[in-house]
Amino acid sequence: MSALTNQRFVLASRPVGAPTAENFRLEEVAIPTLGNNDVLIENHHLSIDPYMRGRMSDAKSYAEPVAIDGLMVGATVGKVLESNHADYQAGDWVLAYKGWETHSVVDGDTLLKLNPDLAPVSYALGILGMPGFTAYMGLLDIGQPKEGDTLVVAAATGPVGATVAQIGKLKGCRVVAIAGGEEKCQYAREHLSVDACIDHKADNFAEQLADACPQGIDVYFENVGGKVFD
């Protein structure tokens, strides 16, 4: 494995507003020698998530910011190339939390082994990963919807919101989706089978929401904050 090199994106500067390419730098670095319990992974899938914008900022938050010149954080699915950990062998598929890089050396105790016979391994970053878990626990454990309830879902076409909407339909709820733009609303109606979808960009958004929820709202799943939440 000594001939391999690692390509990675680091944070070159803190963005103001939306990030641009200039805020990142692509580097090629040597892969470090594996220590006890370490595993070398070749990353095949990377999830780009909204929380990453917060990690680019040095404002006080729930998590430490990414340091300037530091590796951009992120969840990846990859294949084990080399292992000093008893639970992993070359060829295993794993979920890791390291970052934007082609290869990762991580402590095997922090990995989750994936079974490609159960589902495509990339699902560990979506419906069978953090977004799916957020939707499942947020709606069923906290929201606790009942059959016949009106469930309103913000950002309903994102990975979390789309899952919430579909679980809500399975639980017998009237699901009112909120999304940005007619294209997303059409997707929600046709593919997520919601009962109604409202474009939050519409001038009469509040009136449309009231019309779509004549009996009020029983459960509201918030994904974004801001004017829709207000």
Query: For residue 1, what pLDDT is reported?
Result: 45
Say how far apart CA 225 and CA 228 lie, in whole Å: 7
Half-sphere exposure of residue 156, counting CA atoms within 13 Å on the CB side?
Answer: 38
Tens of pLDDT, residues 76-125:
999 999 999 999 999 999 999 999 999 999 999 999 999 999 999 999 99
Helix residue ranges per DSSP H, the chain: 51-55, 130-136, 159-170, 182-191, 205-212
With 70 as the cut, is the pLDDT of residue 129 above it? yes
> Does the domain made of 130-221 have the CATH classification 3.40.50.720?
yes
Residue 113 forms beta bridges with which residues?
Answer: 94
Q: How confident is the model at residue 224 (pLDDT cuts 50, 70, 90)?
A: confident
Assign residue 229 a region: left if phi > 0, alpha if psi is -120 to 50, beta otherwise? alpha
* pLDDT recorded at residue 25: 98
Per CATH, 5-125 and 130-221 having the same topology is answered: no
As beta bridge partners, residue 95 has 77, 112
Which residues lie closer than 8 Å to 213 by C-beta, 6 or more apart? 150, 152, 176
Q: What are phi and psi of 133, to 5 degrees?
A: -65, -40
Q: Amino acid identity, residue 166? A: Q
Place of tokens 């040597």: 30
Instruction: Report the percent of the chain where pLDDT is more than 90.
Output: 93
Domain positions in the chain are 5-125, 130-221
Rounded to an integer, the average pLDDT of 17-43 is: 97
pTM for this one? 0.85
Residue 24, pLDDT score: 98
Which residues on adjacent β-strands are paired with residue 45?
Answer: 77
- Return the CATH class of domain 5-125: alpha beta
How many Cβ atoms are within 10 Å of 151's Cβ, its own excluded?
27
Model confidence at 146, pLDDT cuts 50, 70, 90, reads very high
CB 31 within 8 A of CB 1: yes
128-141 average pLDDT score: 96
- Name the band, by pLDDT with cuts 50, 70 and 90, for residue 144: very high
- Residue 75 C-beta-side C-alpha neighbours within 13 Å: 19
Cα 163 from chain centroid?
A: 12
